[in-house]
Amino acid sequence: MTVEELTRPVIRRVLGIEVLLVLGLSLGRSAVYALVEIIARVTAAVPLSKQTATLNATQAARPYLDLTYQLLGILFALLPVLLAVHLLARDPGDPARTLGVDLRRPGPDLAWGGGLAALIGLPGLALFWAAAQLGINATVVPAGLRHLWWAVPVLILAAVQNAVLEEVIVVGYLVTRLRQLQWRLGAVVAASALLRGSYHLYQGFGAFVGNAVMGVIFSLFFLRTRRVLPLIIAHTLLDVVAFVGYALLPRHLFSWL
């Protein structure tokens, strides 16, 4: 699809509606719910800092029913990713190369992923600590599963699912489509970053700021390299450390969250 074709109002309108539908079925929907939840939190009788935001919560009392719900949640959360890839496949070229999720550069992708995880993770811990001291975040519980044999594998799968969903939709797909719609570079980066921050609002305002900053870095990286895979690797590493670390290490080590 050429720039000249995209200047036609009908084509641009179709792409704009497509973006809204993809986001409405995925992380845009999550952002709306997160906005409602943060309003509910700040207007509650209990201060935000005394409230809890639990990730990866238990969904059933019976262990194998809980496992079933966990796996189904992970599976269906990835369907918007397949939809986005399917829609990008209508454009000329291979969507895997458009998104930069092919395996042509495993070494550099792994190196960049590890570097980005360190770049985001260490300052992120400091930001979470500061937000906790200021009382602008809820207490975050990264893993609320019971100590069962399948808990750690499910947490790792959840980390991968989060990374694939967020980086493909919020960076690869959204940035690609907004650039095709001829948005200015600054507006593209801001849209991606604000969306990322918005669906983390349920955790508090510190989480919004931290994830928005992460969104700026990740979208700029994609615009420069056209590679989403390093972002998926970085995000997976961050979430695995948070989820599995919380599940396995003593709780008092995470009291500052």
What are the DSSP calls for the chain, one per residue? --HHHHTSHHHHHHHHHHHHHHHHTTHHHHHHHHHHHHHHHHTSSS-GGG-EEESSB---SSHHHHHHHHHHHHHHHTHHHHHHHHHHTTSSS-HHHHHT-SSS-HHHHHHHHHHHHHHHHHHHHHHHHHHHHHT-BPEEES-B--S-TTHHHHHHHHHHHHHHHHIIIIIIIHHHHHHHTT--HHHHHHHHHHHHHHTTGGGBHHHHHHHHHHHHHHHHHHHHH---HHHHHHHHHHHHHHHHHHHHS-GGGGTT-
- Chain center to CA of 59: 21
What integer pLDDT is reported at residue 187 of this predicted model?
98
What integer pLDDT is reported at residue 9 of this predicted model?
66
What integer pLDDT is reported at residue 11 of this predicted model?
83
pLDDT in tens, the chain (257 residues): 554 445 566 688 999 999 999 999 999 999 999 999 999 999 999 999 999 999 999 999 999 999 999 999 999 999 999 999 999 999 989 999 999 999 999 999 999 999 999 999 989 889 988 998 899 999 999 999 999 999 999 999 999 999 999 999 999 999 999 999 999 999 999 999 999 999 999 999 999 999 999 999 999 999 999 999 999 999 999 999 999 999 988 766 666 55
Closest CA to 31 of 211, 164, 159, 184: 211
What integer pLDDT is reported at residue 221 of this predicted model?
98
What integer pLDDT is reported at residue 144 of this predicted model?
94
Instruction: List all residues 6 or more positions away from 19 whose beta carbon is below 8 Å from its beta carbon.
Output: 174, 177, 178, 181
Degrees, nearest 5: CA angle 56-57-60:
130
pTM: 0.94
Cβ atoms of 140 and 124 within 8 Å: the answer is: no
What integer pLDDT is reported at residue 166 of this predicted model?
98
Phi, psi dihedral angles at 182 (to 5 degrees):
65, 35
What integer pLDDT is reported at residue 251 of this predicted model?
66
